[in-house]
Amino acid sequence: MTTLKSALQDDLTAAIKARDELRSATLRMTLTAITKEEVSGTSARELSDDEVLKVITREAKKRREAAEAFDEGGRSEQAKRERAEGEILAAYLPQQLSDEELDAIVGEAVEEARANGAEGPKAMGAVMKLAGPKVAGRAEGGRVAAAVKKRLTS
């Protein structure tokens, strides 16, 4: 078992013993998503820590989007719970890049793409391919794409 998955299970056990309903429900949902990912496809497999991290990131993003939708729908109590679940999951994610750090990484990727002959807005794919591994798990794809687009059009 991966260390991140076992940490989630240990924390779930502690949350259940502490009768922390919010934390235990959030960790249960996340572990269910991990298990679902493990058994999807042609054969069951154990996820690596990086793959578990991707599942946690996806679940955290779902919570953020749900909170926004509940706010727009006027259901502030449900939005508050979704945000709380997102905060619990954020504890398992790596520290997110600041805007300045992201801009620096994107700037390096743009320069590298230009050195390889990619220019202007058409270079978006090449820059994303270069920047992707450098920001993996530390910035959302939409945020990276916006920074790349901004850098390429300026």
Query: What does the chain come to in residues?
Result: 154
The first and second tokens of residue 112, run together, are 């590298």
Residue by residue, DSSP assigns 65-109 as: HHHHHHHHTT-HHHHHHHHHHHHHHHTTSPPPPPHHHHHHHHHHH
SS3 47: coil
DSSP 146: H
C-beta separation of 92 from 110 below 8 A:
no
Distance CA 50, CA 94 (A): 11
Q: What is the C-alpha to C-alpha distance for residues 68 and 73, in angstroms, rounded to an integer?
A: 9
pLDDT digits (tens, 9 = 90+) for 32-90: 999 999 998 788 888 888 888 889 989 998 999 999 999 999 999 999 999 999 999 98
Q: Report which of 99, 106, 111 is spatially closest to residue 128, judged by C-alpha positions.
A: 106
Task: Quote the CA–CA distance of 132 and 139 in Å, as a whole number.
Answer: 9
* Beta carbons within 8 Å of 64's beta carbon, 6+ residues apart: 82, 83, 86
Q: Please tell me the predicted confidence (pLDDT) of residue 1.
A: 61
- Residue range 89-137, pLDDT digits in tens: 988 888 887 788 888 888 888 888 777 776 777 777 778 888 877 887 7
